[in-house]
Amino acid sequence: MNAVMTRRVTLAACRGVTVSYGSGRARVIAMADVDLTFDAGESVALWGPSGSGKTTLLHTLGGLLLPTAGTVSWKGELLSSLDAAARTSARAHGIAYVFQSANLLPYFTAFENVSFAKYASAESDRADPEELLSLVGLGAKLDALPSELSGGEAQRVAIARALAQQPELLLCDEPTGHLDSDTGERVLNLIDALQEKFGFALVTATHDADVAARYDRTVELSDGRVAAEQTYEW
């Protein structure tokens, strides 16, 4: 019997990453000595209470925040060695965000919000805003302003906006935090289905143990440190 081995491809890695603010007695350590890798196509939950370092880790992983110590790499390139413009360029080539709030441009329609992300992306020729909005169930809401959308609809526009960037890695920061439980469940199911369809790696920060249990791997954070990791075989 021949075994078929699948080689894991690492997209992003944190090595000895520490993030701190202030100095002396006022110094606050938000994240301390974190070592993690994130592979193509996997789904990872960053789980822990408020203040555990989940958002800091997401922002550092995506190049929005520079570590005080340690290194963060994206596809083998050190993000921490690049200037802000170069880090933005690196993100434009494969990393997208979905935040707790949809953060849509308030005077842009749903179609325009997704279109803006499309044209800001290095892969803009591959994404059609109307198709993406239809894919997330909002084909009839193309001309709606954010103020005319429900919370769940706005978050689906945010997901379509992220997909317009053709991500290899999607970072979600408490994406259902402002939604009721039923709407939140539908949003999570949508993200799962889209990951299966497009094959991007997914890293989601959550304080909810039930949400964390949906993922291939759970990384528990406590006081800015990795407290435990659990990998599930489905």
Q: What is the pLDDT of residues 4-22, one digit of tens each?
A: 445 679 999 999 999 999 8
Determine the average pLDDT of the residues in 119-134.
Answer: 77
> Which CATH number is 40-66+81-231 given?
3.40.50.300
Euclidean distance between CA atoms 164 and 167, whole angstroms: 8
| Confidence grade of residue 86 (pLDDT, cut at 50, 70, 90) | low
Euclidean distance between CA atoms 155 and 183, whole angstroms: 10
Domain boundaries in the chain? 40-66+81-231
What pLDDT sits at residue 50?
93
Helical H segments across the chain, by residue range: 54-61, 84-92, 110-120, 129-135, 151-163, 181-198, 209-212
pTM, 2 dp: 0.90
Q: Is the pLDDT at 234 greater than 70, yes or no?
A: no
| More confident position, 179 or 82 | 179
Q: Is the pLDDT at 89 greater than 80, yes or no?
A: no
- pLDDT, tens digit, 9 for 90 and up, residues 163-210: 998 899 999 999 998 899 999 999 999 999 999 999 999 999 999 999
